[in-house]
Amino acid sequence: MSDAKANGLPGVSIIIKGSNTGTSTDVNGKYSLAVPSAEAVLTYSYIGFDSQTKTVGNQSIIDVSLVENTAQLNEVIVRALGIKKEARTIG
């Protein structure tokens, strides 16, 4: 898994289309995923890049290069949920 410049992308989501089964790439952009059949379709997605789909077929190794899409960056919302402040007491 790499970008258009052949840099490995860590954290790319790979999902088997129509299921909840998936994985993500490691720090070098590599992944491993057991698929149910040769007809399985994999969806690759990463923030700031266009998503891609690939049919597994008879391939045991699938290399994908994602293309940057900076327009998608306007869609990111960051929320700070679960942050708690502790009250400090003076003893």
Distance from C-alpha of 22 to C-alpha of 70, rounded to nearest angstrom = 25
**CA separation for the pair 11, 29 (Å, rounded):** 8
Query: Percent of the chain scored above 70 by pLDDT?
Result: 70
- The pLDDT tens digits of the residues spanning 41-75 come to 999 999 888 999 999 999 999 888 888 887 756 66
Percent of the chain, pLDDT > 90?
Answer: 44
pLDDT at 47: 84
**Which residues does 12 contact at the CB level (< 8 Å), separation at least 6?**
1, 24, 25, 29, 31, 44, 45, 46, 66
Beta bridge partners of 65: 2
Mean pLDDT of 28-38: 91
Find out whether 11 and 29 touch, Cβ atoms under 8 Å.
no
Sketch the domain layout of the chain as residue ranges. 2-75
Please name the residues in contact with 26: beta carbons below 8 A apart, sequence gap of 6 or more. Answer: 10
CATH number of 2-75: 2.60.40.1120
